Amino acid sequence: MAEATANGLGQQALHSTHDAATAGKSDTHQEHPIKLYLVVWVWLFILSACSYMVDYFGLHGYLRWSLILIFMMLKAGLIVAVFMHMAWERLAMMYAIILPPILVLVFVAMMVFEADYTLLTRIAFFGPGP
């Protein structure tokens, strides 16, 4: 920890002008106003109700899928950003945690091709489904 601080001090000197500009812009520490949590809570309720309505009204096709994904991403974003305080972390932390799960999308793409191929061979060998 001591070395780390010393190292950090050297960089502080480098960026002292930058820091002077940003210092004092915000005085929040860990406690954020309770109102913020309540607002996010209400929004999570609204978004959940919306995603339930998608099923209740029986929407179909691309409209259904896109609405599901939009509501899902909004809810996940609110939880991670505000409830888990990610919005106030440094970028080094945000990228370390949020970037790897996004790379799972590559895996998703691979498995989409794999599943299509499996379905194709199943139809070719066993005929179309019952």
Map the footprint of another protein across residues 50-109, applying CB under 8 A: 51-52, 54-56, 58, 64-65, 68-69, 71-72, 75-76, 79-80, 82-85, 88-93, 95-97, 100-101, 104, 107-108
Map the footprint of another protein across residues 3-42, applying CB under 8 A: 3-4, 7-8, 11-12, 15, 18-19, 22-23, 25-32, 34, 37-38, 40-41
Q: Compute the least distance from the CB of residue 1 to another protein, in Å.
A: 5
Q: Compute the least distance from the CB of residue 55 to another protein, in Å.
A: 5
What tokens appear for 83 in the block?
Answer: 């409830």
Distances from the Cα of 10 to the Cαs of 5, 19, 72, 100, in angstroms?
9, 13, 43, 31
Q: Compute the least distance from the CB of residue 24 to another protein, in Å.
A: 9
3-state secondary structure of 111: helix
Q: Compute the least distance from the CB of residue 88 to another protein, in Å.
A: 5
What is the rounded CA–CA span in Å between residue 92 and residue 89? 8
What is the rounded CA–CA span in Å between residue 64 and residue 34? 34
State yes or no: residue 46 binds another protein (CB under 8 A).
Answer: no
3-state secondary structure of 24: coil
Is-contact 86 76, C-beta < 8 A?
no
